[in-house]
Each structure stands twice: as structure tokens, then as C-alpha cells.
Structure 1
Amino acid sequence: MTFPISRFPVPDLEHLPQDIREKILAVQEKAGFVPNVFLTLAHRPDEFRAFFAYHDALMLKTTGNLTKADREMIVTATSAKNNCLYCVVAHGAILRIYAKNPLIADQVAVNHLKADITPRQSAMLDFAIKVCLNSHQVTDADYAVLYQQGFDDEDIWDITAITAFFGLSNRMANVISMRPNEEFFLMGRAPK
């Protein structure tokens, strides 16, 4: 049985604007498949461009003290709090690959307090989850904990921005019933 990847229309690749089609084909070449987020968000080309511009600014950033695995860990943990199946599955797969750890994504998604992570990562996720669920309660004490773990103000901005951006992404994915690609479920689980 085949299930739709969105409750909204998914445009055909050949009918998309050239820049969007080229981005999707580049992702397909690199990943070996097209993540459904690209196809579903292509429903609105201007929003697709804005979404991926901000996504790339946050997630492909090479400055600061957050690793690629840290960034994906934030997405996985906060997406779990927002009950976003797509983002937990997709970003959990990327986390497993970046962390070179087949267990980490499931642990972080279920309960980061029981996960095999460092105190630094635990403090990062404590803060991200507070931003996700209770941002109005963030105080100087929360900053102090992060400073003690070696994060600076720019890192805290990144943790906050990633959490906030994926809050938007989680809500869109949930409301449009974005379905995770089957490929994501197995990625990074077994050594190659």
C-alpha cells in the first residue's frame, strides 16, 4: 500500500522553477533519493526558497562551537518534544551518521537525560528543550549553565535559532502530514 507524502498537492519535478528543480536534483544525487520535505515544500516555491535559505544558514554553518552532530541532536530532541515524526526520523538518521553512533538518535528522541551523551550535550539539549517548550522562562541562570560548558553567546543564539526554526518545520510537517522517506529509517543504523 502506498501512502501520500503530504495532504497537499506535491508538484511534479518537471513543473517546478529551474532553481528549485536543480536544488532537488542535487540533493537526490548526493543522498540517492529525494527527501520528502523538498517535494512537499515545493508546493509553495517562494516559501521553499526562504525555508531552505534559513535551514542552510543554520545547519551548514561552519563557525561556532556546535558540530554538525550537535545541530542534528538539537533538531532530533526538540522535534520529539513537538511530536514531529518526519523530523525525528529524518534528522535522527543524519544524527546517527554524523555522530557515528547507531543508538544516539533513538536515545535523544525518547529521553536525552538517559542518553549516552556528554554533560556538554546534555546542557545544550536541556536549554534547547526549554526554548522549545518554555522559552518565556529562559533566564540568566540558563545562560550560566551553558557558559560553564564552553558555549558562548553566538552558540546560544545558534541553539535558539535551530530550535525555533525547527519548531516551524515541525508544525508544518505535522499539519501537512509529511511522511518520512523509508530510506531514513535504516540510515546510520548498521556499519557499512
Structure 2
Amino acid sequence: MTTPQHETQWVHQDLHRHSVGVLRGWVIALAAVVVVGALILGAVLFHLLFFTKPAPVVVSSPRDCRTSTDPQTPKVYIAAEATALMDGALTGATTLVPSGWTVEAVGVVPSLPRLSTLDDSEFERIVHDAEENPMKFGETETTGVIVGVVDTGGETSGQLFGLRLTWVFGEPAAVQDLPLGIDFNANSCTVTRAG
């Protein structure tokens, strides 16, 4: 013969359902917190990796400019002194304002005479060579001259406020604006503001 269990040893069915419901609620809440936390952490990491601009690669100061002598294809020639803050290679540039002009070539050279002492073909050769064989700026050379050739789209006078430079060091790339403040016309080119 079996003896019935005493009532106090069993959990009442309503109390059991309530306990399971509370536990299920806590599990769902914890899962929601973990998912939201993971999404926020992922968004922060994505922003840090792809949208945060790293520290500047160089400290620069516009040094010299002049216009090309060919009136059919007007160009602005640029030279800016630069001191490296970290290792990097200059891989490209675009104009800040006006944005429609084309940076034909850009690079870094260890040193450069005044632009007035170089003819158009000499300077363009120097810049194209610097672009084709980029110098690892900051590794052994900590100072140099950023050189560039900007095609003004046929305009023989105007202003060039700066260049947006793209630097690469290993995998990541850094974008840095180089203020120029250049005023030019067919006969002259002046740097009106140091960067």
C-alpha cells in the first residue's frame, strides 16, 4: 500500500507557473540587454575603425606656388614644407575648394629649390616621380616638401584653399587637409595664409 505524499512537499501548480514565467521574463530581458549591448559595441567599433580620423600625419606650412607657363592648359604648382608626426606614404589628393579641379600629381620629396628656379617640365617630372615612387615619409625622412600639380580646368585665375591628402601607413589610411590659401592669375601666384 502506498502512502500519500504530504501536501507541503509539492509546489502548488499556480506557484510553479508563476516562477517559470518570472524566470522566462528574466531570461528574455537578459538576452535583450546582451543583444543591445553587442549592437552598441559593434557600432562603436565600426565607427572607430572607419570614421574616426587618426591624428595628423604631418605638420605643414605652404611654402611656394606658381602657375604654369602654358596658357592652353593652366595649372597651379604647389610646394609645402612638412614635418612627419608618424610614418606614412602620400597616395593621393583632391582639392578642397574649388572641388572640381583635378590634382594631376602629388608626392613628397626630401628637398626642393624655389619653384621660380624650375621650369614646368622639370617640376612636373619631380612631382610625377615622387608620386610613382612614394617616399615612406617619417621612417627615415622626417622633414620634406609636399609637391603637387593642380589642373585648374581651364581657369587662369582664382583661389585654391587647400588639398585633402590621403596617407597610408600599413593597412589603415588617414585623410588630412592641407590648408593653402593660394591666390593666382596668369602672371602671379601667392600663398595668402599659412597652414
For the criterion TM > 0.5, the same-fold answer is no
* Larger relative contact order, structure 1 or 2 (CA cutoff 8 Å, min sep 6): 1
Which has the larger share of helix?
1
Tell me the TM-score normalised to structure 1 length.
0.26
The higher radius of gyration belongs to 2
Tell me the TM-score normalised to structure 2 length.
0.26
